[in-house]
């Protein structure tokens, strides 16, 4: 299944539009707010590094100073907007995946409990749906997905087809693997209860290890973010408290050095992000 960029919903085997978890599509209001905030942040950072150019010999702002401030505010604002909006969407997509993963664990727990008590597969999904409705709202991902399984049963559409579609839309390796195991067992007539329980135990252990790794990486991510913000804070502080430092920034050499420093800063942050992501 190809990754449909920007498509919020895809048709499932019941011909019903369901969430495409592979992408995060912002609402109109959210998109507007995120773009405005990102532009403003970028513009303010631009003023920290490029503000106050073309002042007169007495250190007073001139008309050229006002124009240059506006130009750099807009230019840096647009550059930052593209970068920050993309980072925001990636962060929201990661949170969406984490939410789906935790809800899927709850589904596996409920299925394993029902199967262990002697219920058949269909009854286990019915029990799981009822259990999940008590834990989550009707609009939550996993409640909607289990309802599609029950609706598919009512319309004589195989559970394996519904789960396969769920796995493809999720983009989550664990859900895809569960759907494949279920489909294999269903088509070859294996012991469904034993297979699902063992698969549940295996996936749960795998997710637990992943969560442990993520917990250890959290401090590294926080350190990276703090170190990335420190140069901006230090420069802003020095410009506000040291007039001679601010004057040095408002020269041709100062602009050149700032530009080189920002390029190094962006490269270091990008490299740091990749290094941290390698552990995920």
pLDDT, one tens digit per residue, over 19-48 is 999 999 888 999 999 999 999 999 998 888
At CA 99, angle to CA 215 and CA 131, rounded to 5?
A: 120
Q: What is residue 49's predicted lDDT score, i.e. its pLDDT?
A: 86
At CA 166, angle to CA 6 and CA 176, rounded to 5?
A: 105
Cα–Cα dist 227/270, whole Å: 13
| Neighbour count for residue 11 (Cβ, 10 Å) | 10
* Overall average pLDDT of the 148-175 stretch: 92
Q: What is residue 166's predicted lDDT score, i.e. its pLDDT?
A: 95
Helix (H, G, I), strand (E, B), or coil: what is residue 97?
A: helix
Cα–Cα dist 124/119, whole Å: 6
At CA 40, angle to CA 46 and CA 59, rounded to 5?
A: 40
């Amino acid at each position: 299944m190809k990754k449909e960029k920007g498509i919020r919903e895809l048709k499932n085997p019941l011909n019903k539009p369901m969430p495409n978890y592979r992408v995060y599509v912002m609402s109109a209001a959210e998109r507007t707010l995120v773009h405005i905030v990102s532009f403003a942040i970028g513009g303010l950072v631009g003023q920290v590094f490029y503000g106050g150019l073309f002042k007169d010999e007495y250190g007073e702002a001139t008309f050229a100073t006002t124009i240059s401030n506006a130009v750099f505010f807009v230019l840096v604002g647009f550059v930052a907007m593209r970068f920050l909006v993309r980072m925001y969407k990636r962060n929201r997509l990661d949170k969406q995946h984490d939410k789906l993963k935790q809800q899927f664990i709850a589904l596996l727990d409920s299925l394993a409990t029902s199967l262990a008590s002697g219920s058949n597969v269909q009854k286990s999904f019915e029990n799981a749906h009822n259990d999940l409705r008590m834990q989550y709202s009707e609009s939550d991902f996993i409640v909607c997905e289990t309802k599609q399984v029950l609706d598919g049963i009512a319309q004589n559409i195989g559970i394996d087809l519904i789960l396969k579609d769920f796995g493809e839309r999720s983009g989550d390796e664990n859900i895809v693997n569960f759907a494949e195991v279920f489909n294999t067992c269903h088509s070859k007539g294996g012991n469904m209860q034993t297979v699902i329980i063992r698969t549940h135990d295996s996936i749960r252990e795998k997710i637990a290890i992943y969560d442990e790794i993520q917990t250890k990486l959290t401090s590294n991510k926080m350190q990276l973010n703090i170190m990335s913000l420190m140069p901006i804070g230090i420069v802003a502080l020095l410009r506000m408290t040291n007039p001679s430092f601010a004057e040095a920034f408002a020269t041709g050499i100062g602009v050149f050095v700032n530009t080189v420093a920002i390029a190094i800063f962006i490269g270091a942050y990008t490299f740091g992000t990749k290094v941290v992501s390698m552990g995920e």
